[in-house]
Amino acid sequence: MFPQNWIEVEVAAKHLITPDIAFLELRNTRENPLPMFTAGSHIDVEIAPGLVRQYSLIDGPGDPAHYRIAVLRQQASRGGSAAIHERIRPGDRLRISVPRNNFALAHGARRSVLYAGGIGITPILCMAERLVQMNASFDFHYFARTRTHAAFLSYIEAGRIAERAHIHFTREEGGRRFDPGRDVPAFEPGSHLYVCGPAAFIQVVLDGAKLAGWPEECLHRELFTAPDVSQNAKSESFRVRIASTGLTLEVPPDRTVAQVLIEAGIDLPLSCEQGVCGTCLTRVIDGVPDHRDVFLTEEEHRRNDQFTPCCSRARTPLLVLDL
């Protein structure tokens, strides 16, 4: 099941900006402008029936004429990035969702520190642009394998964010990897840290931040692909109860809660189905979820009052859901 408000767009332009990153410009097939969005927003893109992926919007907020996204060709593609690279052509029509933002800039931050690893540059670039517009205090770290693999490099080096940008090439001679002692400042009240990139990169930045005294509530991350925890985690059957009707359903080890709910006719919005986007977030009234998502923060996991039924399970024999 997909978001209600699909927008039909046409691929106005598509080209490679690095050997493995495709840039796409999408425009509304109607004359209407596209909805406004805030820095850090993403859209769902329906690449083919049943194949939906999330991509960050690149431009600074407020460009209603086009949306621009960049898509890394994943080595272990589950179908989405390969299809975009191989099959999508200028002139093709796609459906997209309205923008959503799970990675918004904190209001009133005294200082922001941004980290982009590889394709994680897409939301971070938009946020850096916004911080420049706001004349806000920030630093921006961009880690890429080589100059050739760094998307938007000439734009960054020549643009308004150049003087705040620290660019690191990890695989070039003399290149430098992320070093928490060098790259993460000690926490100061009012500061916020944002990181986007591969799961391992995000983890190492967050670990470094915690060592430097950053509290969880000031750490913000955006993942587009979940680390593969679900296959290693043991799965057992349990039951879920729909609070509004009392309907109780068995979730066997090889099915997700979302699959069981949808088969039973429950209207549950789904998108990434990996615990990344938060679309399926559901309130838990009783029982303890076994959280397997990367969308909620550690603090939100500890509260156990909501979970992502597309991938998370139960630690107790029964979960009562606010549905």
Enumerate binding residues for ligand FES (CB under 6 A). Answer: 270-273, 275-280, 293, 295, 308, 310
**Least distance in angstroms from the C-beta of 98 to ligand FES:** 16
Kindly tell me which of 80 and 275 has the beta carbon lying closer to ligand FES: 275
- The encoded tokens of residue 193 equal 């840290």
**Least distance in angstroms from the C-beta of 245 to ligand FES:** 22
Query: Which strands form 93-96's sheet, in the order they lie side by side?
Result: 51-56, 42-48, 93-96, 7-18, 21-28, 66-72
**Alpha helices per DSSP H over 159-292:** 180-183, 199-211, 257-263
Residues 239, 315, 296, 51, Cα dihedral to 10°: -50
SS3 95: strand
**Least distance in angstroms from the C-beta of 313 to ligand FES:** 13
Kindly tell me which of 21 and 272 has the beta carbon lying closer to ligand FES: 272
Surface-to-core class of residue 122, CB atoms within 10 Å of its CB (0-12 exposed, 13-18 middle, 19+ buried): buried
**Least distance in angstroms from the C-beta of 111 to ligand FES:** 30
Kindly tell me which of 113 and 310 has the beta carbon lying closer to ligand FES: 310
Kindly tell me which of 53 and 192 has the beta carbon lying closer to ligand FES: 53
Kindly tell me which of 139 and 300 has the beta carbon lying closer to ligand FES: 300
Q: Which of 216, 238, 231 has the alpha carbon at shortest distance from 296? A: 216
SS3 298: helix
**Least distance in angstroms from the C-beta of 95 to ligand FES:** 17
